[in-house]
Structure 1
Amino acid sequence: MKLLAAVALTTVTLLNFASAVLAQSNDAMVFATVDRPPFAILETENGSPEGFSVDLMRAIADDLGRSVSFAPAESFSAMLDAVKSEAVDGAIANISITAAREVEMDFSQPIFASGIQILMPAEVSALGRVGGLLTREIGTAILIALGLLFGGGMLMWIFERRHQPYFDRPAKDALFPSFWWALNLVVNGGFEERMPQSRPGRFFAVILVVASLFVVSVFVATITAAVTVEALQESVDSINDLDGRDVGTVIGSTSADFLNQREIRFTGYISPQEMLADFDAGTIDSVVFDGPILAYHVSSNPKSKARVIERVYRPENYGIALPSDSAMREEIDQSLLKLREDGTYDALIERWFGANFRN
């Protein structure tokens, strides 16, 4: 009798345990996220979040036989706080795996290899660069130079009109020939066969030649300096070249930590959307942030006059954030391995980043 009671008790216990396990496996998972195109896009036509990380989490949930829903967070820090407080089962977006975050939460295997890059205005073409040099100051200098050449040529006409055939013509017919003579005198040293014959003309010609040495030198130096300054302003070969530029990044991001470590001043933004809008408007002239998000901004805005510097300044890996000692970590890692092996992961990469992208 006691044996039968023990068997019955054991059977009931096993059934209860199996029911609990089954119920747990069917529980819906709730993952926090934040708007970070193309990893998480909250504003969609069907009202359901989309993006590489969101779709990857859905694929993991399908593989685990569980459902998943997404809880939008007001900010990136609020999303991580929800994970640390275990208010959600985890978080998904472009979450960099760092030592500081690892202390407060767990992470899955890396789901994306990323890094910090720089967004800059698009390179100016040679024609556009020349056009940019035509400032009011340079335009005024050109007009003054032309006026002096015209005035000098007409003054030489007054001195030489009765001493050589080239200047022996009426005033209305002498306007361009006189200007042309003065221009050649300054640029080429003049015409040997049209050397001034009168004493005032010879004296004035010497003054013109000597003065032109200084005028041409100053003019060339001004143009050269303008070209050099513009080239230096556009050139960013290292992170140190950001000194003196209006840099923007997101507050609390790994990019902000990166800039703070190098003592580079920047304007902090709550969201990448606000930051990129200011960049497009010209409020800031460079952005330091996650490379894939910057590249997506450029590719999704055909009219955007911007470029992403190819150099990666700090390689990073994105992962799925989980509460400390989460029981789901192992099964999520196993599911990620399956999705990489069966081609699901590569299909998501191709969908969101293009067929030629490799991660």
Structure 2
Amino acid sequence: MRRLLLAALGCAALVLAVAGQGACESKLEPVDPSFAGRTLTVGVVIAPPFVEKDPNGNYVGVAYDLWEDVAQDLGLRFTTREYGLEALLAAVRGGEVDVGVSALSLTPEREAQMDFSQPFYYSGLGIAVPAVAESAVERVVDAIFSSQVLFYVGSLLALLLLVGIGVWLLERRRNPEHFRPGGKGIGDGMWWSAVTMTSVGYGDATPKTFMGRALAMVWMFASVALLATFTAGITSSLTVDTLTGRVHGPDDLPKVRVGVLQDSAAEEELVAGHIGVRRYQTVDAGLTALVDGDLDAFVHDQPILHYYQHRDFTGDVRILPGFFDPQLYGFAFPRGSLLRKSVNVALLRRLVDTEYRAQLYGPYLGKQAIQ
């Protein structure tokens, strides 16, 4: 009898657990009755990897696949209509479509004119760099001919020339055997300033006049500080450029060759930050220039960079971790839409599932982009 009682209790507990799980899974927000039996109009903008067309002409992508799953969960029927970005936003504002699906970022200006779902993707501007690192020799050569090192060397040569001309002007009449007339004498003066600065002091050229020797004394003391400054600056530049890569984040962009998509958010952000950019008509063209060595970095929306890397540039391009100028992507609805609440609940139920996110993002963005 005792065993029968325990078995009965176990079966009852199992039934209650299954029933409870089923009840939990069925807790979707009911769709407003006004949408019952209706075929919704969904507006899209082609924006890989969020919305694109497969070889058969069917709409696919991160945003579109997610919308299809949400619509299936809610039992919604819909037709798809393609727009440009501005046209879609106008259609959402005017109620021409029931929902807008694409890489639609949530901004204060848009939020004031329409409603948005909970965000389904959080990202921002990413930085693509070459995946194949330069050899040590190439990095050293690049560092030696960098603008910073060339500035130090040029400044040093100009200073040597200035001091050389000065000592030649003071010594050319009283000391012609050491500081010859004309251009040769200027060369003698520059040679003297160089050997004096480096403390070599061959003695083949020495000033004899009072003013010449006074200049020599000042130059000797000044050379100690100047040489230390030049040495430290050049050493620091060579060490940083040689031991580390060129680009590690946004702070490095002002110092390197940067590409952007013309008329993109990346162009607007970098130009506003007074960073020089090279403009390209397509992302593919920009990444190709990066691989060919014409650029040190290419800046664009990070998920789109992941998409192109995953599709066409695997092994050639590396996307730096992290992003800047963050953006949230969501579905857009007309103001006061009665559909938004139901979509939000279904959307969140999907996105809390780690396995589902991997299935949604993985095919388009690669494993490294799965959040």
TM > 0.5 = yes
8 Å CA contact 2:115, 2:334 repeated in 1: yes
Residue 27, structure 1, aligned to residue 36, structure 2: no
Give the AA of the match of 1:110: P
2:104 and 2:45 map into 1 onto residues whose CA distance is 10
8 Å CA contact 1:32, 1:82 repeated in 2: no
The structure with the larger Rg is 1
Q: How many residues are treated as equivalent by the alignment?
A: 253
In the alignment, which residue of structure 2 is the partner of 1:316? 327
* Equivalent runs, 1:44-83 vs 2, <5 Å: 44-74=54-84, 76-83=85-92
In the alignment, which residue of structure 2 is the partner of 1:130? 137
2:95 and 2:294 map into 1 onto residues whose CA distance is 39
Residues 269 and 349 from structure 1, CA distance in 2 versus in 1: closer, same or farther, beyond 3 angstroms? same
* Equivalent runs, 1:252-331 vs 2, <5 Å: 253-268=264-279, 271-280=282-291, 282=293, 284-302=295-313, 304-331=315-342
1:267 and 1:72 map into 2 onto residues whose CA distance is 31
1:254 and 1:322 map into 2 onto residues whose CA distance is 23
Q: What is the root-mean-square deviation of aligned Cα atoms in Å? A: 3.9
Judge which range, 317-326 or 242-251, deviates more.
Answer: 242-251
Residues 299 and 327 from structure 1, CA distance in 2 versus in 1: closer, same or farther, beyond 3 angstroms? same
1:267 and 1:328 map into 2 onto residues whose CA distance is 43
In the alignment, which residue of structure 2 is the partner of 1:36? 48
SS in 2 for 1:29: strand
Q: 2:361 aligns with which of 322, 341, 349?
A: 349
In the alignment, which residue of structure 1 is the partner of 2:345? 334
- 1:278 shift after superposition: 4.5
8 Å CA contact 2:260, 2:278 repeated in 1: yes
1:98 and 1:254 map into 2 onto residues whose CA distance is 13
2:319 and 2:47 map into 1 onto residues whose CA distance is 21
Judge which range, 27-36 or 340-349, deviates more.
Answer: 340-349
Which digits, 9 at most, give the CA deviation of each residue in 1:130-181, with x for residues without a partner? 257689x99xxxxxxxxxxxxxxxxxxxxxxxxxxxxxxxxxxxxxxxxxxx
TM-score (norm 1): 0.57
Which digits, 9 at most, give the CA deviation of each residue in 1:75-104, with x for residues without a partner? x44543443444433322222222232223
8 Å CA contact 1:32, 1:72 repeated in 2: yes
Seq. identity, %? 28
Which digits, 9 at most, give the CA deviation of each residue in 1:4-50, with x for residues without a partner? xxxxxxxxxxxxxxxx956654313222121322x2222x2221121
Residues 344 and 358 from structure 1, CA distance in 2 versus in 1: closer, same or farther, beyond 3 angstroms? closer
In the alignment, which residue of structure 2 is the partner of 1:184? none
Give the AA of the match of 1:296: Y
SS in 2 for 1:31: strand
In the alignment, which residue of structure 1 is the partner of 2:117? 108
8 Å CA contact 2:249, 2:320 repeated in 1: no
1:63 and 1:270 map into 2 onto residues whose CA distance is 39
Unpaired stretches in structure 2, ≥5 consecutive residues: 1-31, 146-201, 203-233
Which digits, 9 at most, give the CA deviation of each residue in 1:155-209, with x for residues without a partner? xxxxxxxxxxxxxxxxxxxxxxxxxxxxxxxxxxxxxxxxxxxxxxxxxxxx9xx
Give the AA of the match of 2:42: V
8 Å CA contact 1:248, 1:275 repeated in 2: yes
8 Å CA contact 1:107, 1:322 repeated in 2: yes
Unpaired stretches in structure 1, ≥5 consecutive residues: 1-19, 139-206, 208-222
SS in 2 for 1:109: coil
- 1:224 shift after superposition: 7.9
SS in 1 for 2:106: coil
- 1:116 shift after superposition: 1.9
1:82 and 1:268 map into 2 onto residues whose CA distance is 31
Give the AA of the match of 1:314: D
Judge which range, 341-350 or 94-103, deviates more.
Answer: 341-350
In the alignment, which residue of structure 1 is the partner of 2:151? none
1:281 and 1:84 map into 2 onto residues whose CA distance is 44
In the alignment, which residue of structure 1 is the partner of 2:128? 119
- 1:346 shift after superposition: 5.0
Give the AA of the match of 1:80: L
8 Å CA contact 2:307, 2:366 repeated in 1: no
SS in 2 for 1:115: strand
SS in 1 for 2:47: coil
TM-score (norm 2): 0.55
